[in-house]
Amino acid sequence: MKRMLWVGLLVVMAAGAAWAQFYDRLGAEERRNLAEAYYLVGRQYSEQGEGVKGSDFEGMAYNIYPGLDPAAIASEAEPPAAELILAGKAVAREDPEAVAVLLKSRFLRLVSAFLTEDTPTLLAMMDGSVWFTCIGGELEREAIRDDLEAFFARANLSGGLPPSAVYDLESLEVNADEAAAPSWGSTYAVRIRARADFADEVAFWEQEQQYLFHRRDGQWLLFAVGSGLPPGSWAPRPPASPVAAAAATAAHVDELKAIREAFLASLEHFLAKQTDEASRYFSREILILRLNATLTREEMAATFEGYFEGSDFSGVAAGDVVDTASISVEPSERFASQQPGSVYLLSVRTRLDLSAKIPFWTRFQEYYFSSVEGDWRIFAIF
């Protein structure tokens, strides 16, 4: 079983290596700047109470530039205007250069979500409807969701295709579009040259592509795709209001506490090399979202066992492996259409680097929990 598991993980790691080539194409200074931008956005989201987005952006920052030093940027009096805009804060004036940097990062995140078949993230970066020049009309988010799922079923991008194989990243440019401002407010055009040809599967696919972003409620959202501009009389629909968080009732608080305790108990059992007891806190199958892989409960246990069997963790507590003060638990809608009942996201910052033998281990981790026969269990890890 272990041998088959590690062979499978090596295949997944090879796909991850191909993905890493995207960042290798960027210079060290460019990667550092991009990572700092992501980190600052994440910090602003967290301060606004949006922990999920904050962890997501901070985790991406360390993926882009593992040597990122938060202390080196934490001394800034204020993050750049672009980060404040994304976090929904007012700024005295818009800095076009700062917005351009932000939108380059946002577009690269859009591409990353596309290549990892992450439909929820793609939709979250769009306005309530998007104008497509190729059809001369708009599509609402639900229609775009259906089109994306159909494309992913045909194209199957889960093999680790890097962005550099799809786009000429050196051609990426962002410019303010003054002609669009009267109709849609401050608007920026993201332009890039395609390398891959998806014209047979995607109606809007062209070699020279344009994506229009405008600011709505403090966020830069995609509202048009294709050359030219939509009709001046057209306006994108507003995004649907997010599902309200569950009320902070006593029962809800108990659920949050139970999920936190389940996570720490599982980790304590693994440290004690009690893999059978630890695996009880996992579903029968676990999605490893960063690697586009699925492990069974038994394979997950074997993965940790393979690491811990050669290490002495006597006297080591869960708090030595993860920063327990950083743990946050909140409701999540990411798997609403796939999981019955409530889904919660537990985010945590790790202290030890176990990535050498546990491929999905990262500095910032996200665990998705659902209730199975009355017990909270992990069914997905990001």
User: pLDDT by residue (tens digit) across 238-258?
Assistant: 886 544 333 334 556 778 889
Q: If you average pLDDT over residues 106-121, what whole number do you get?
A: 81
Average pLDDT, the chain: 74
CA angle 312, 380, 285 (to 5 degrees): 85
Percentage of the residues of the chain whose pLDDT score is greater than 90: 17
Q: If you average pLDDT over residues 64-70, what whole number do you get?
A: 72
CB 54 within 8 A of CB 42: yes
Q: Give the span between the Cα atoms of 319 and 350, in whole angstroms.
A: 9
Q: Quick one: which of 288, 292, 370, 242 has its CA closest to 113? A: 292
CB 329 within 8 A of CB 351: no
pLDDT of residue 80 exceeding 60 = no
Write the single-letter amino acid at 108. Answer: L
Start-end of H helices in the chain: 2-24, 28-47, 51-64, 70-74, 81-86, 96-115, 119-124, 141-155, 163-166, 181-184, 250-271, 275-279, 297-308, 318-321
- Answer whether 0.85 is exceeded by the pTM: no
Q: Which of 1-15, 205-219, 292-306, 348-362 has the highest mean pLDDT?
A: 205-219
Q: Which of 145-149, 300-304, 347-351 has the highest mean pLDDT?
A: 145-149
Residues in a beta bridge with 230: none
Ramachandran angles phi, psi of 64, nearest 5°: -70, -40
pLDDT confidence bin for 309, thresholds 50/70/90: low
pLDDT of residue 213 exceeding 50 = yes
Per-domain boundaries in the chain:
2-225, 250-381
**HSE-up of residue 213 (Cα within 13 Å, Cβ side):** 25
- Cα separation values, 380 from 53, 93, 129, 294, Å: 17, 41, 29, 9
Fold of 250-381: Nuclear Transport Factor 2; Chain: A, (3.10.450)
Write the single-letter amino acid at 350. Answer: T
pLDDT confidence bin for 264, thresholds 50/70/90: very high
CB 287 within 8 A of CB 2: no
